[in-house]
């Protein structure tokens, strides 16, 4: 199995755990908690900032000693927009599940920005359609670069069955602004119906990295560098939650030259 493909460990509690140390990189961290009613997930951000994303379900949240109330709404990532919470460095947090709950914990280095804890409701996030034809996908910007944060960029995408996304292939592995930014990235995948699968390829121009993976419901894919297109199989819609971070908080990507013609087709 590819070292870039992280399978969930167990069915309850923290089932995915990606850190800069175990991923072999510098910036991005990603945890996924699956909680039953009354289960609790908690943590401290330390020197990092965190975005909690309610992928599915509802839970009561406390953060920085404040009661943020009952958050969450949708029971499927394929229906509606998410609730999220932004936490700066030096914050403690706790989520108590009220329903079955899938909670993503997205993290990156804090830079001392002194930003406040804030709830990001469905009305606070923009949704857009990108692409044409069978390259159409639906994007929800949870923590885009226009929203306050130190390092984190967080977005979720729904790709209909039979469509491609993160396509034409693009990369962001060079600290070469304004042309391209260096950003590590994780993909947390969900399938609808859940027994389906999709494909993701991660590769570089010189093919020193070239991994093609069949991704199933609940898998995480690491993108340390290179291009990283996805393809959803007929009959199965693909959801993924992206977490990106690097030395500068901006998303400037480079398209694979041989496939750029698709943008004009």
196: left (phi over 0), alpha (psi -120 to 50) or beta: beta
Per-domain boundaries in the chain: 5-263
Domain made up of 5-263: CATH architecture: Sandwich (2.60)
- Beta strand 92-97 with 59-63: parallel, antiparallel or unpaired? antiparallel
Distance CA 12, CA 57 (A): 14
Mean pLDDT of the chain: 97
112 pLDDT exceeds 90?
A: no
Distance CA 220, CA 154 (A): 15
Higher-confidence residue of 201 and 264: namely 201
Q: What are 114-129's pLDDT values in tens digits?
A: 899 999 999 999 999 9
For the chain, state the CA radius of gyration.
18
Contact status, residue 52 vs residue 85, Cβ threshold 8 Å: yes
Give the model's pLDDT for residue 1: 82
Number of Cβ within 10 Å of residue 242's Cβ equals 23
Distance CA 238, CA 193 (A): 9
> Which residues are paired to 97 by β-bridges?
59
Give the model's pLDDT for residue 137: 97
Q: What are 220-246's pLDDT values in tens digits?
A: 999 999 999 999 999 999 999 999 999
Burial of 122 by CB count in 10 Å (0-12 exposed, 13-18 middle, 19+ buried)? middle
């Amino acid at each position: 199995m590819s070292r870039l493909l992280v399978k969930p460990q167990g069915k309850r509690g923290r089932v995915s755990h990606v850190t800069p140390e175990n991923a072999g990189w510098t910036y991005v961290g990603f945890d996924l908690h699956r909680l039953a009613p009354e289960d609790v997930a908690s943590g401290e951000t330390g020197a990092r900032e965190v975005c909690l994303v309610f992928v599915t379900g509802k839970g009561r949240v406390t953060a920085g000693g404040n009661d943020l109330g009952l958050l969450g709404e949708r029971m499927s990532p394929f229906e509606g927009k998410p609730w999220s919470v932004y936490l700066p460095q030096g914050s403690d947090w706790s989520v108590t599940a009220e329903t079955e709950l899938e909670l993503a914990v997205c993290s990156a280095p804090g830079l001392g920005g002194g930003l406040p804890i804030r709830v990001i409701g469905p009305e606070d996030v923009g949704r857009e359609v990108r692409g044409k034809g069978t390259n159409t996908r639906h994007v929800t910007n949870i923590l885009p670069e226009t929203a306050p944060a130190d390092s984190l960029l967080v977005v979720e995408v729904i790709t209909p069955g039979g469509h491609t996304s993160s396509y034409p292939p693009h990369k962001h592995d060079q600290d070469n602004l304004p042309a391209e930014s260096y950003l590590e990235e994780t993909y947390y995948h969900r399938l609808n119906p859940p027994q389906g699968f999709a494909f993701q390829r991660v590769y570089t121009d010189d093919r020193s990295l070239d991994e093609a993976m069949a991704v199933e419901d609940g898998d995480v894919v690491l993108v340390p560098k290179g291009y990283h297109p996805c393809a959803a199989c007929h009959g199965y819609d693909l959801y993924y939650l992206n977490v990106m971070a690097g030395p500068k908080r901006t998303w400037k990507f480079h398209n694979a030259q041989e496939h750029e013609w698709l943008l004009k087709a």
